[in-house]
């Protein structure tokens, strides 16, 4: 079982605050909108696991920072060039990213503050989704890069 004081300051891409059992999980990159890449893809697996195993959390509010929830917009120029063996960790992380989010046994509320351009399945798989009027949901990291969605977007 995770203890909040042990994990709350451990993450680069998630700011965690808790008061009266309400945990606010704010996704960000250097204080701005979360920019997906290898770092967040790896780290959020651990974030969701820690949050999901903390018995003192009664509800989770997941939100973003700045003008968007997640980014960046993708293009065919941003296709990662990897061998099949190099894709293996990304595949593993993708499965556990969703599994660990869905294993959080308390209500998860997504407060989507703007466009969710990457991994928009994360807020959409929350128990409650509240979105700003200018929010859009997109998979800008797969189709336009010639990749098949397989780490969460395929579910949505």
Residue boundaries of the structural domains of the chain: 4-145
Q: What is the mean pLDDT of residues 45-64?
A: 98
For residue 95, report the phi and psi dihedrals to the nearest 5 degrees.
-65, -45
Fold of 4-145: 2-enoyl-CoA Hydratase; Chain A, domain 1 (3.90.226)
Is 121 noted as a catalytic residue in this protein?
yes
Cα-flanking dihedrals φ and ψ of residue 53, to 5°? -110, 15
Q: Is the pLDDT reported for residue 79 higher than 70?
A: no
Over residues 93-144, the pLDDT tens digits come to 888 999 999 999 999 999 999 999 999 999 999 999 999 999 999 888 777 7
What's the mean per-residue pLDDT of the chain? 91
Rounded CA Rg of the chain: 15
């Amino acid at each position: 079982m995770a203890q909040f004081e042990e994990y709350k300051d451990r993450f680069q891409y998630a700011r965690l605050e808790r008061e009266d059992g309400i945990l606010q999980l704010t996704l960000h990159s250097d204080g701005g909108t979360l920019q997906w890449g290898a770092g967040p893809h790896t780290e959020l697996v651990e974030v969701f696991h820690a949050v999901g195993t903390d018995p003192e959390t009664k509800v989770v509010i997941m939100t973003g920072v700045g003008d968007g929830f997640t980014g960046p917009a993708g293009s065919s120029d941003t296709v990662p060039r990897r061998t099949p063996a190099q894709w293996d960790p990304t595949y593993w992380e993708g499965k556990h990213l969703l599994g660990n989010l869905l294993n959080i046994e308390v209500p998860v509320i997504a407060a989507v503050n703007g466009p969710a351009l990457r991994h928009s399945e994360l807020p959409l798989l929350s128990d409650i989704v509240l979105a700003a009027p200018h929010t859009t949901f997109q998979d800008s990291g797969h189709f336009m890069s010639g990749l098949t969605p397989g780490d969460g977007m395929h579910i949505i």
